[in-house]
Amino acid sequence: MRGSDAKSGSLFSYVDLDQRVPAKHPLRVIKALADDVLVSLDAEFVRLYEGTGRQSIAPERLLGASLLQAFYSVRSERQLMEQIDYNLLFRWFAGFDQPSKRR
């Protein structure tokens, strides 16, 4: 079952991550392109994922995190998760910041 890409802001987070990322940061352009591509793939994701069973992690988040892993040469998925835990830029890019704009 495909996991939801809907995001519910963190319970105790008072930081708007979009404001923390510099306006001219190169990842802003890449994120906009990736978001457009992922929106266009939404129908394909719906077709590929079963409607029943346990929810998975949203493919949009997985693909965003995979891009970060490649861009920043993160050696393992464990290190990637550690980076997402404490790196605001990674959280913002992978979509762990605010309610989804993709849906």
Residue 56 inside a domain? The answer is yes
Domain-embedded: residue 86: yes
Structural domain containing residue 64? 20-94
- Is residue 42 one of the residues assigned to a domain? yes
Cα angle 16, 22, 28; round to 5? 90
CA distances from 22 to 32, 51, 60, 98 (A): 14, 39, 23, 17
Q: Is residue 44 part of a domain?
A: yes
- The least confident of 4-18, 25-39, 43-57, 62-76 is 4-18
Domain count of the chain? 1
Each residue of 38-63: pLDDT tens digit?
999 999 998 998 888 888 888 999 99
Decide if 15 is inside a domain: no
SS (H, E, C) 21-61: CCCCCHHHHHHHHHHHHHHHCHHHHHHHCCCCCCCCCCHHH
Domain assignment present for 7: no
Whether 31 is in a domain gets the answer yes
Percent of the chain past pLDDT 70, that is, above it, reads 84
Asked, for residue 13, whether it belongs to a domain, the answer is: no
